[in-house]
Structure 1
Amino acid sequence: MRKVHHILRISAWLVGLCVAGFIIFASLRQRPQDLPWTQIDLGQPIGLFTGRKLAALTDDTARCRGLLDKAGVAYTAMKPGGDGQCAYADAVRLKPDSGAIILAPAAVAPSCPVVAALKLWEWHVVQPAAQRHFGQPIRSISHFGSYSCRRMYGRSQGDFSEHATADAIDISGFVLKDGRRISVVNDWKGEGKDAAFLHDVRDGACDLFSTVLSPDYNAAHRDHFHLDQAERGATEWRACR
């Protein structure tokens, strides 16, 4: 008799496990961005695998630009440029768009996966954080550039930087609608709302970019956020500091 009860308990446990699994799977189906095998859609909120899917667009320029088109992002596709380790073929320049954050200087042309991540960052992280902390939107984002044919940290030897293929951008600050400026170098430290905003947008970027480096990483990043879409293959490790 005890054996029968034991079997019944195991059966009930298995049924419960199956039901729980079905519920979880059914819930995830309502958020396809949380599943690793679904296609990325820039119209969807940020999901568990959005960052990896964005980085995977590095080798599919046409698809990446198609996603920008579908999302209504105004941009200019740039001609391929550079040579050797510093060659790039998927750079895009954002066009002025009513209601969108302006990149300053505006002539910057990062890779398509970086731009796609920047737009999701703007929509789902930066603007919501600005409204929470300041009650107004961000007007522009200041940066130190994207493309730069150089090795990491400007060294004469070693691996090339993601900047060498326009697959990175360095963000230095933000300008609110009322003109007030928030900079990484001046406002990262402290307990005020400016510092809280900067930490929030840094943390949110970690869900979208392969690498996010801030003043918490080292002195070389004391004045900017380094954001890139390094494609690291099977390891798929991500850096957020």
Structure 2
Amino acid sequence: MKALSVGVRTLVWLAVLAAIAFALYAFSRSRPQDVPWTPLDLSQPVGMFTRAKIGDLAGDFAGCRTLLDAAGVRYTALPPRDDAGQCGYDDAVRMRGGGSRTIAITPDVGVSCRVATGMALWEWQVVQPAAQKHFGEPVVRIENFGSYNCRRIYGRDTGAFSEHATANALDIAAFVLADGRRVSVVGDWTAGQGRDDAAKAAFLREVRDGACGVFSTVLSPDYNAAHRDHFHFDQATRGFGGACR
């Protein structure tokens, strides 16, 4: 009887483990972006492990470009750049508007491939749904302040180099809607009295918050005065956690 009891318990545990395995398999099929072992797919919504998977592309320029190609992102691979000190890059692409699923980034800008990957997901999964929600219009242009800049953080003479020094950061200034309306960080972060003013402020906060799922660092006017007129996005290596302010 004792041996039978042990056998029954073993069968019960095997059944439980099989059920768990099946549930995990089903979940990974329906929500691959929410499990760590599935490959990154730019056609999937942003998930729990999306940011970590983008981070894993560090050092895999060919693999990163394969993702952009499969998603229809228009870009030009940039030749390596080696400036004095800790500046330069060997994994940068110049993003261009007009791809099969991307919107216009203005002006064309060279960024690390990981930043370009984050931008594509952010545009498709965060910016456009938020624009439709708040304005009933798509965004046709995202204006930026640039990426590569050989400097230290805040332009200081000493201290750590900025992610801009390796084109691993991008500063976003404004959004232009299909009907011509412009939503700028500097002008619309704080809502005015009008209904449209409230919508613009809500939109900016929604796209800021949504960026936290694809970029390692997201800084906004809530962070400090230096970011009063733009969002700073970068893909700095930070482990599992990110910085979103």
TM bracket (short chain): 0.7 to 0.9
The whole-number CA distance in structure 2 between the counterparts of 1:195 and 1:70 is: 34
In the TM superposition, 1:53-132 aligns within 5 A as: 53-83=53-83, 84-97=85-98, 100-106=102-108, 108-132=109-133
Q: Percent same amino acid at aligned positions?
A: 59
In the TM superposition, 1:226-241 aligns within 5 A as: 226-232=232-238, 235-241=239-245
| Structure 1 pair 21–82 and aligned structure 2 pair: CA distance change class (3 A) | same
Pairwise CA distance, 1:24: 5.1
Equivalent position amino acid for 2:188 in 1: D
CA contact under 8 A between 1:110 and 1:147: conserved in structure 2?
Answer: yes
Pairwise CA distance, 1:147: 0.3
The whole-number CA distance in structure 2 between the counterparts of 1:100 and 1:32 is: 22
Q: Secondary structure of the equivalent of 2:81?
A: coil
1:24-50 CA distances to partner (integer Å, 9 max, x unpaired)? 552233222111122111122211100
1:78-109 CA distances to partner (integer Å, 9 max, x unpaired)? 11113241120111112331663211112x11
In the TM superposition, 1:14-33 aligns within 5 A as: 19=19, 22-23=22-23, 25-33=25-33
The whole-number CA distance in structure 2 between the counterparts of 1:68 and 1:220 is: 32
The whole-number CA distance in structure 1 between the counterparts of 2:185 and 2:97 is: 24
CA contact under 8 A between 2:96 and 2:105: conserved in structure 1?
Answer: no
1:170-193 CA distances to partner (integer Å, 9 max, x unpaired)? 001101111111100111112700
Pairing 1:134–2:135 present: yes
The whole-number CA distance in structure 1 between the counterparts of 2:97 and 2:172 is: 18
Match of 2:230?
224
Pairwise CA distance, 1:18: 7.5
The whole-number CA distance in structure 2 between the counterparts of 1:169 and 1:226 is: 6
Alignment counterpart, residue 208 of structure 2, candidates 198, 202, 213: 202
Q: Secondary structure of the equivalent of 1:117?
A: helix
The whole-number CA distance in structure 2 between the counterparts of 1:149 and 1:105 is: 19
Pairing 1:163–2:164 present: yes
Equivalent position amino acid for 1:30 in 2: S
Equivalent position amino acid for 1:236 in 2: F
CA contact under 8 A between 1:56 and 1:231: conserved in structure 2?
Answer: no
5+ residue gaps in structure 2? Answer: 1-10, 192-196
Q: TM-score, normalised by structure 1?
A: 0.88
Backbone CA RMSD of aligned residues: 2.2
CA contact under 8 A between 1:188 and 1:194: conserved in structure 2?
Answer: yes
1:147-178 CA distances to partner (integer Å, 9 max, x unpaired)? 00011111111111000000000001101111
Pairing 1:153–2:167 present: no
Pairwise CA distance, 1:16: 7.3
Aligned pairs, how many?
Answer: 229
Pairing 1:179–2:180 present: yes
CA contact under 8 A between 2:186 and 2:229: conserved in structure 1?
Answer: yes
Equivalent position amino acid for 1:40 in 2: L
Show structure 1 runs of 4+ deviating over 4 A: 11-22
Q: TM-score, normalised by structure 2?
A: 0.86
5+ residue gaps in structure 1? Answer: 1-10
